[in-house]
Structure 1
Amino acid sequence: MQKEIEIAVSPDFIQDEKYIRSLTAKQLKVAENRITGLYVRKRSIDARSRQVVYRMRVVAFIDEPYIAPSYHADVQQVHDAKPVIIIGAGPAGLFAAYRCLERGLKPIVIERGKAVRDRRRDLARINKEGFVNPESNYCFGEGGAGTYSDGKLYTRSDKRGNVQKVLQIFVQHGATEDILVDARPHIGTNKLPHIIEDMRNTILNCGGEIHFDCRVDDILVQFGKVEGVKTSTGETIKGDHIILATGHSARDIFHLFKNKGWLIEAKPFALGVRIEHPQEIIDQAQYHCSTRHENLPPAYYSLVEQVDGRGVFSFCMCPGGIIAPCATDHEEIVVNGWSPSKRNNPHANSGTVIQINMEDVPNAATDPFALLAFQQAIEQKAFIMGGGQLVAPAQRMVDFVERRVSNSLPENSYKPGTRSVDLGEVLPDFVHRALRGALPIFGKKMKGYYTNEAILVGVESRTSSPVRIPRDKDTLQHPDIEGLYPCGEGAGYAGGIVSAAIDGINCIDAIKI
């Protein structure tokens, strides 16, 4: 017999398997020797009271052989199978390719950027020299933006598809089994590249294709149906099904649609700054302690507040993390955050953003590029205010709220460097007013948050795409083009690694064969 129960475990005993087994037996009111094995289904940290505990749902096997949970994908050899062209090798594209192997289709993945290891040289140059390669950066390349932006797998996308399957595929390719049980699963930027490489090898070994340093410059359409693509290498690749998974920063694809007269539309996105604190401030506030317990991970937070009818919220919070330069072109500043698997850096950062609505930008209802142009103009202004070489405009938190330029800036994790400015000159008026109103309130919600030890770094502007490529809700195809499946964050249908992966799977499942 199997029974599932919830137990609360002190951090002191979270690594003590014998104690957990004993606690489970006691709660089930059975002799400990009757439990042949147990596994954790879900695990989360409950820090609502001063006594922080792990809450765990465990499945106990009683008086029957223990069988550990396992997952094995049923992939096929597809060397000579029907091809599916997949534009982009981010989470949506890679999981679309993987799903092709399960369905007996041949994925042909076309990625403008480099293989994951080769990207590192370009990322190093971004951090050291402030130079951006428009084809290889934190957003473009194998694994997409997710590879070098943390690998957070927390999602609310359960209704969109099988979240557990996505996590299991990651485990199959090298992620720890912790991601299957943790309430806020996380892989870590240091581990993701190896996992992405393993996924690539699975795709290639089964007969799929992946083309790096190969940008799609044209989508070939005849009589309203896709016929293939033309690439920057001069090659024409034929196929009558195309998954368009280019990510939220492939602006050239949006321009391609505009030039072709294909339907696209403006879409709301969020804009703000990345805020960084010393990690110990967040730990002390969330765990109600002076020093974090060695068996507790660096603490995270989630904050939201309404200011003058506008939502201000934290986004993509990175405990023990790094602020990264994520521009995709010259003379623009974009920041994001990531953490290594151990989350052992001394700082914690989070995007803190405000929703940009259609009515905030003139002509957004009629011009599909209005919000994109708005986004781009702010990124370029941030570059100018930073003074060049990807130095980011920044300000201490209390100084920002009280409208004074900081005399100095605290030590921070943004490697290209920061420059003290009035961020009110970078951000639109309604954005910085909402931020100024929200930050002191956040400080009342979380002790220690509102402090001049915290730094605001601008700008966090790529939370999602400011353009949507529409698709039919049933067929998932573009309404103008048969066989074209807009997919993932770049098309406006996902908001993170897991939701993008699910969307890639769903688009392949929409193909009728």
Structure 2
Amino acid sequence: MQQEINLQVSPETAANTEALKHHLSREKGIPFSEIRHVEILKRSIDARQKKIKVNLRVQLYLQENFEAEKINKPEYKDVSAAQPVIIVGAGPAGLFAALRCIELGKKPIVIERGKDVRARRRDLKKLNIEHIVNEDSNYCFGEGGAGTYSDGKLYTRSKKRGDVNRILELFVAFGATREIMVEAHPHIGTNKLPAIIENITRTIIEHGGEVLFNARVVDFEVKNDEIAGVQLLDGRKIAAKKVILATGHSARDIFTLLYNKKIYIEAKPFALGVRVEHPQSLIDQIQYHTANRGEFLPPSAYSIVKQVEGRGVYSFCMCPGGIIAPCATSPGEIVTNGWSPSKRDQATANSGIVVEIRPSDFAIFGDSPLAALKFQQEVEKKAWLAGGKTQTAPAQRLVDFSKGKTSGNLPQTSYKPGITSVDLGEVLPDFVHKSLQKGFVEFGKSMKGYFTNEAVVHATESRTSSPVRIPRDPATLEHVQIKGLYPCGEGAGYAGGIVSAAVDGEKCAEKAVLAINNKQ
């Protein structure tokens, strides 16, 4: 017999199967000998009280043996001779769109401007050490997209659990641990995600799909408001009547290309700010109410939202036990982001702290669909200039930042290109600067100890989401103007992270294949 139970236990009990069995036997009045197995279905930490608890949903196997169900890949077909669907971008939206196309019997041709994950590492090293930005191979562009080397967080606010669970199961089938099916905030880790991405790409190729690296799309072939294919930088033309556009939020050349071809796009509100780094031990002390979290609790995270004079200021992409990375996609700009290895075992915790950017804020760049993008670019360029025209990030201690005081010295940082002391009021737009100054004070009231000069503020955190939306028909998911073009994922404004982008990729693939089948 099986029985599903929700319970709350200590971290020590949650981490020990025998202790958990004894607890369940005692609390539920079940003879210990009858409990053959306890399968944890969901796990989350409740740190609201001084005594930390772990919330569990478990499946009890009473007088019944447990056998773990293997999660296998779907039955993929050989689609080498099938009708093609072009997919621009090999991030989560593009790769999961490709897998879904194969599942539905169509041939994906994935076009990625960047390199494969192994070759990409060399360019990331040059970026971190030599400050050399490769416009086609960096933390945003390349096999797996921005998620490959920036954490692999799989948390999503999507309410469609069926779609989310399917994506998580696919990740497990391609090599992720089953823990991502259990944790409330699942996370793969930058050290493990590349091998999973390589497995996905290999599967696409083995079943007749194509994946083209170092292949930048520079034009769209459009005939009578219908897509006919794409042209690459090397002059190649690839024909297809269905194109899924999954380029990610930093594909500024694609946004500009669409604008120049008079293909309808629109400016979109986003958020911009800084990335703040604290000692992980300090965040643990704040969140867990103890200086030593022990072996049974993971490095703690935080999520915080405040309204400052009617404008939202909030944490974004928080990375416990993580590292700050340089994520510029062109020379002449500084962009920061954060990531964590699978064990989240680094000494520092970092998070983007950002301010909402409204249409009225970027109206200074006119009513162009690229106005928000230009606003974003200007701040990134100011950071680069303030940092000395390298990838050295302008920085300030946290309390100094809020007091408008240039820091006399700076603490050690995980940001490898290095930091330099700058009054960030010279870098950030005035309203962003003031909102953050007040926001940090408010954060400190909610999280005692957060507002400290032990923390360092790095500029800028600016790629929170796409500054452009590419409108699509809600029924067909095709572009509102160009038939056969499917704006998809974060870059088009329809996702916000790995899982939601993957879900959107699958949906666009399904619509594209349905349209092909309906014409046959």
Q: Report the equivalent of 1:440.
A: 441
CA distance in 1, matches of 2:105, 2:21: 43
Q: Report the equivalent of 1:15.
A: 15
Contact 2:230-2:239 at 8 Å conserved across structures: yes
Q: Report the equivalent of 1:478.
A: 479
Q: Does 1:191 align with 2:192?
A: yes
CA distance in 1, matches of 2:28, 2:77: 44
- TM-score, length-scaled by structure 2: 0.96
CA distance in 1, matches of 2:495, 2:313: 20
CA distance in 1, matches of 2:477, 2:34: 51
Contact 1:226-1:241 at 8 Å conserved across structures: yes
SS in 1 for 2:363: coil
Query: 5 Å matches for 1:398-437?
Result: 398-437=399-438
Q: Report the equivalent of 2:345.
A: 344
Q: Report the equivalent of 1:236.
A: 237
Q: Does 1:32 align with 2:32?
A: yes
SS in 1 for 2:360: helix
Give the letter aligned to residue 419 of structure 1. Answer: T
CA distance in 2, matches of 1:275, 1:354: 13
SS in 2 for 1:151: coil
Q: Report the equivalent of 2:221.
A: 220
SS in 1 for 2:369: coil
Q: How much has 1:35 moved relative to structure 2?
A: 2.8
SS in 2 for 1:152: coil
Query: 5 Å matches for 1:262-277?
Result: 262-277=263-278
In structure 2, relative to structure 1, the CA distance for the partners of 1:460 and 1:292 (3 Å cut) is same
Q: Report the equivalent of 1:148.
A: 149
Contact 1:358-1:364 at 8 Å conserved across structures: no
Contact 1:358-1:365 at 8 Å conserved across structures: no
Q: Deviations 1:138-164 (Å, cap 9, x if unpaired)?
A: 000000000011001111113386101
SS in 1 for 2:385: helix
Q: How much has 1:364 moved relative to structure 2?
A: 6.6
Q: How much has 1:367 moved relative to structure 2?
A: 1.2
CA distance in 2, matches of 1:320, 1:274: 14
Q: Deviations 1:291-312 (Å, cap 9, x if unpaired)?
A: 1111211110011111110010
Contact 1:161-1:506 at 8 Å conserved across structures: no
Q: Does 1:71 align with 2:95?
A: no
SS in 1 for 2:118: helix
Q: How much has 1:8 moved relative to structure 2?
A: 2.2
Q: How much has 1:65 moved relative to structure 2?
A: 4.4
Contact 2:134-2:330 at 8 Å conserved across structures: yes
CA distance in 1, matches of 2:155, 2:439: 24
Q: How much has 1:228 moved relative to structure 2?
A: 1.1
Q: Report the equivalent of 1:117.
A: 118
When structure 1 is superposed on structure 2, of 233-242 and 2-11 the one drifting more is 2-11
CA distance in 2, matches of 1:365, 1:154: 36
Identity level (%) = 57
Give the letter aligned to residue 8 of structure 1. Answer: Q
When structure 1 is superposed on structure 2, of 77-86 and 474-483 the one drifting more is 77-86
- Segments ≥4 residues shifted beyond 3 Å: 25-28
In structure 2, relative to structure 1, the CA distance for the partners of 1:245 and 1:161 (3 Å cut) is farther
Q: Report the equivalent of 1:44.
A: 44
CA distance in 1, matches of 2:81, 2:159: 34
Q: Deviations 1:314-365 (Å, cap 9, x if unpaired)?
A: 0000001111000000010000000001111111000000010001122678
Q: How much has 1:171 moved relative to structure 2?
A: 0.9
Q: Which runs of 5+ in 1 are unaligned?
A: none
CA distance in 2, matches of 1:395, 1:209: 47
Q: How much has 1:64 moved relative to structure 2?
A: 3.8
CA distance in 1, matches of 2:296, 2:474: 45
Q: Report the equivalent of 1:335.
A: 336
CA distance in 1, matches of 2:231, 2:215: 10
In structure 2, relative to structure 1, the CA distance for the partners of 1:466 and 1:160 (3 Å cut) is farther
When structure 1 is superposed on structure 2, of 30-39 and 285-294 the one drifting more is 30-39
After superposition, the CA RMSD in angstroms is: 1.3
Contact 1:39-1:68 at 8 Å conserved across structures: no
Q: How much has 1:463 moved relative to structure 2?
A: 0.2
- TM-score, length-scaled by structure 1: 0.98
Q: Report the equivalent of 2:62.
A: 62
CA distance in 2, matches of 1:476, 1:109: 19
Give the letter aligned to residue 199 of structure 1. Answer: I
In structure 2, relative to structure 1, the CA distance for the partners of 1:160 and 1:54 (3 Å cut) is closer
CA distance in 1, matches of 2:366, 2:194: 40
Q: Does 1:4 align with 2:12?
A: no
Q: Report the equivalent of 1:295.
A: 296
SS in 2 for 1:120: helix
CA distance in 1, matches of 2:134, 2:219: 21
Q: Report the equivalent of 1:307.
A: 308
